[in-house]
């Protein structure tokens, strides 16, 4: 056994006379071994495969590096293959910026519309007086006129408060130029406009505010009505107003009109 050559191909020991032979990759059934001398050049190249145990062992450093490479390599699953790529951070920032700008523009436009509110806007949103006295909600009645400068000046502030509390408080507009409201003018003692009368749920007057006054006076009274307070904080307050004696009396064709 000592004289047997140590050349080996996949564990096959060869005799000494074939020590210089090469192993081809052909099937074992057709394997032919020839000595080097007199060997013709084969028609196809021969490939010698090293035995499995001939690989050099890895060092600890190489093993650690290989593991780190495997961990860093991105993994994908068959489910992920068909999914679209997620948007990057830059795209998210742009979307967020555009959303913010849109919200700011909407808010600014709303503020602009509120600041441009007029007596016509208030009259268009006005609850009919008869309905206000019967729907079980507190009411604010404003006596006004289109020619009243103070009325026009206060319209934007009144509109803002109305938009905030219109679900809990009735807002009624009565034009003093309409003869339909002669009885209400006498009942509430209207001598100057704008004249704001604050009524509880039963239609009883709790107080009134006349003329140009700070917006907070009007707001405080509306909040008290909406909260069901027994009294309003500003029950009898008079500021600069237009005289009701200057009204231009006329009879409107539609008796249901606020004007």
| Domain contains 25 | no
Q: Residue with structure tokens 């007596």?
A: 119
Q: What's the pLDDT score for residue 225?
A: 97
Q: What is the pLDDT of residues 143-162, one digit of tens each?
A: 999 999 999 999 999 999 99
Task: Tell me how many domains the chain contains.
Answer: 1
Q: How far, in Å, CA of 250 to CA of 130, rounded?
A: 21
Q: What's the pLDDT score for residue 162?
A: 96
| Domain contains 229 | yes
DSSP summary character for residue 28: G
| Domain contains 45 | no
Does residue 106 or residue 116 have the better pLDDT? 116
Q: Which domain holds residue 228?
A: 119-246
Q: On the CB side of 121, how many CA atoms lie within 13 Å of its CA?
A: 17
Among 9, 23, 48, 151, the one annotated catalytic: 151
What are 193's strand-pairing partners?
242
| Domain contains 179 | yes
- The set of residues, in sequence order, having a beta carbon less than 8 Å from that of 88 and lying 6+ positions away, is none
For the segment 73-88, the average pLDDT, to the nearest whole number, is 54
Active site residue 23: no
Mean pLDDT across the chain: 75
| Domain contains 238 | yes
Task: Tell me the three state secondary structure of residue 149.
Answer: helix
pTM recorded for the entire structure: 0.55
Residue 112, token pair as written in the block: 């602009």
* pLDDT > 90: percent of the chain: 47
List phi, psi (to 5°) of 238: -130, 130
Active site residue 9: no
Q: What's the pLDDT score for residue 259?
A: 53
Q: What is the pLDDT of residues 170-208, one digit of tens each?
A: 999 999 999 999 999 999 999 999 999 999 999 999 999
pLDDT band at 137 (very low <50, low <70, confident <90, very high): very high
| Domain contains 57 | no
Q: What is the pLDDT of residues 231-251, one digit of tens each?
A: 999 999 999 999 887 776 655
Q: What's the pLDDT score for residue 197?
A: 98
Q: What is the CATH number of the domain that holds 176?
A: 3.40.30.10
| Domain contains 128 | yes
Residue 111 has pLDDT above 50, yes or no: no
Q: On the CB side of 164, how many CA atoms lie within 13 Å of its CA?
A: 13
Among 9, 24, 48, 148, the one annotated catalytic: 148
| Domain contains 226 | yes
Does residue 248 or residue 15 have the better pLDDT? 248
Q: How far, in Å, CA of 159 to CA of 148, rounded?
A: 16
- Chain CA centroid to CA 23, Å: 74
Q: What's the pLDDT score for residue 96?
A: 79
Q: What's the pLDDT score for residue 180?
A: 95
């Amino acid at each position: 056994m000592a004289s047997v050559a140590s050349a080996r191909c996949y564990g096959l020991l060869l005799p000494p006379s074939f020590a210089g032979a090469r192993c081809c990759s052909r099937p074992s059934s057709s394997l032919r071994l020839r000595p080097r001398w007199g060997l013709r050049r084969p028609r196809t190249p021969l490939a010698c495969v090293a035995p499995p145990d001939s690989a050099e062992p890895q060092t600890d450093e190489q093993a650690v590096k290989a593991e780190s490479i495997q961990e860093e390599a991105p993994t994908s699953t068959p489910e992920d293959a068909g999914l679209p790529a997620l948007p990057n951070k830059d795209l998210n920032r742009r979307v967020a910026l555009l959303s913010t700008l849109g919200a700011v523009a909407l808010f600014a436009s709303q503020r602009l519309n509120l600041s441009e509110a007029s007596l016509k806007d208030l009259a268009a949103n006005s609850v009919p007086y008869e309905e206000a006295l019967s729907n079980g909600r507190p009411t604010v009645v404003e006596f006004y006129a289109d020619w009243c400068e103070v009325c026009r000046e206060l319209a934007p502030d009144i509109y803002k408060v109305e938009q905030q509390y219109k679900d809990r408080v009735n807002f009624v507009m009565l034009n003093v130029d309409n003869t339909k409201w002669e009885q209400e003018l006498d009942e509430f003692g209207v001598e100057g406009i704008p004249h704001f009368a604050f009524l509880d749920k039963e239609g009883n007057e709790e107080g009134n505010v006349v003329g140009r006054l700070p917006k907070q006076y009007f707001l405080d009274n509306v909040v008290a009505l909406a909260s069901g307070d027994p009294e309003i904080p500003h029950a009898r307050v008079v500021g600069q107003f237009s005289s009701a004696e200057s009204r231009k009396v006329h009879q409107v064709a539609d008796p249901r009109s606020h004007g």
